[in-house]
């Protein structure tokens, strides 16, 4: 039996006893901004809104595509915002009620359309009669965001539009993790007071495992499959690559936790029920196709290693299947 591992844009065919894992290197990103009604007079009509775009992952060898479409009713993102008059976008006036994240949800407007929405309860909301933050056209804004909002409990409380710090565990979470950053100066940018576009990038490696038969004349099935040697948890830092250029590229940096060879990660087990074994068809079988709506992909913290002449930094992740 052979196993094919698809990681982002690359796939490698290896034998049952040989597996090569590569980490998805997160693409660096530039993004968005922040606002409040302190100081200069706020725009009387325009309110701060958001739109999203998410990165695609595809395996060219299998044709498989993982698209995290965030524009689905019920999706929630966490957005931090700062603004100020500083020319270098270093202002630190909170856009929302506090420096903390605002939950922004994709919801129906009741008239057949949907959009990203949030509730603002700042002291100025009651007087203006609007539950949204209004733009200050002359100010410069920066926004930092992550998906999903459900991971908010893992975020360090010092996080803000300046830097996002959070913990991610493969043992506790099996959700994609995406981040975004954007800046905006309504008086200068062509988008003016339009929705802030958050371009979300994947912060994790997306792995897909396809098992094939070496002898096509044999009938084979998969009973159990798991990974070991992966980082079980890690700390994510997402910040400006150049502290002097807050409009520029952003860095996704992982501080990995331990890689335990004795702990199973993404363990798939059919038990003793032979009817649940995954039969290996002519084109192979994707082990995790029955684990939800992720197209057979599972997530891992990016890591490196060394194997068969390929340079790695961390212990080689291994697989087990029978």
Please give the domain boundaries of the chain with CATH numbers for all domains.
2-321 (2.60.40.2620)
Three-class DSSP category at 321: strand
Three-class DSSP category at 151: helix
- 138-187 pLDDT, tens digit each: 999 999 999 999 999 999 999 999 999 999 998 898 788 999 999 999 99
Q: How confident is the model at residue 8 (pLDDT cuts 50, 70, 90)?
A: very low
Q: What is the pLDDT of residue 169?
A: 93
Q: How far is 141 from 85, CA to CA, in rounded Å?
A: 9
Average pLDDT, the chain: 79
Beta bridge partners, 268, equal 225
Calculate what percentage of the chain has a pLDDT beyond 70. Answer: 74
Average pLDDT over residues 213-217: 85
Three-class DSSP category at 94: strand
Q: What is the pTM of this model?
A: 0.79
Average pLDDT over residues 114-132: 80
- 230-288 pLDDT, tens digit each: 888 999 999 999 999 999 999 999 998 877 778 888 899 999 899 999 999 888 898 88
Residues sharing a CB contact under 8 Å with residue 63, sequence separation 6 or more, in sequence order:
none
Instruction: For the chain, give the longest Cα–Cα distance.
Output: 76
Of residues 318, 224, 314, the one with CA closest to residue 263: 318
Q: What is the pLDDT of residue 1?
A: 44
């Amino acid at each position: 039996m052979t196993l094919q591992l698809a990681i982002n844009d690359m796939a490698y065919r290896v034998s049952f006893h040989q597996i090569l894992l590569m980490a998805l290197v997160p693409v660096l990103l530039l993004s968005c901004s922040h606002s409040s009604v302190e100081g200069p007079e706020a725009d009387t009509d325009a309110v701060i809104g958001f739109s999203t775009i998410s990165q695609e992952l595809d395996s060219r060898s299998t044709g498989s595509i993982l698209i995290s479409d965030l524009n689905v009713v019920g999706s929630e993102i966490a957005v931090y915002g700062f603004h100020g008059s500083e020319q270098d976008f270093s202002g630190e006036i909170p856009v929302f009620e506090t420096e903390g994240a605002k939950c922004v949800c994709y919801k129906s407007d009741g008239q057949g359309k949907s959009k990203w929405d949030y509730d603002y309860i700042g002291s100025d909301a009651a007087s203006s009669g609007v539950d949204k933050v209004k733009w200050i056209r002359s100010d410069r804004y920066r926004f930092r965001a992550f998906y999903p909002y459900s991971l908010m409990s893992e975020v360090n409380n010092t996080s803000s539009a300046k830097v996002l710090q959070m913990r991610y565990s493969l043992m506790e979470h099996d959700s994609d993790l995406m981040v975004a950053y954007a800046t905006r100066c309504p008086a200068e940018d062509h988008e003016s007071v339009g929705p802030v576009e958050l371009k979300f990038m994947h912060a994790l490696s997306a792995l897909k495992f396809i098992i094939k038969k070496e002898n096509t004349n044999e009938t084979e099935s998969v009973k159990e499959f798991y990974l070991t040697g992966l980082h079980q948890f890690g700390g994510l830092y997402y910040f400006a690559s150049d502290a002097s250029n807050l409009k520029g590229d952003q860095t996704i940096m992982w501080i990995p936790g331990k890689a335990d060879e004795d702990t199973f990660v993404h363990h798939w087990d059919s038990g003793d029920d032979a009817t649940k074994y995954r039969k290996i068809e002519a084109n192979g079988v994707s082990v995790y196709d029955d684990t939800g709506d992720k197209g057979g992909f599972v997530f891992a913290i990016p890591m490196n290693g060394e194997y068969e002449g390929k340079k790695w930094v961390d212990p080689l992740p291994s697989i087990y299947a029978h």
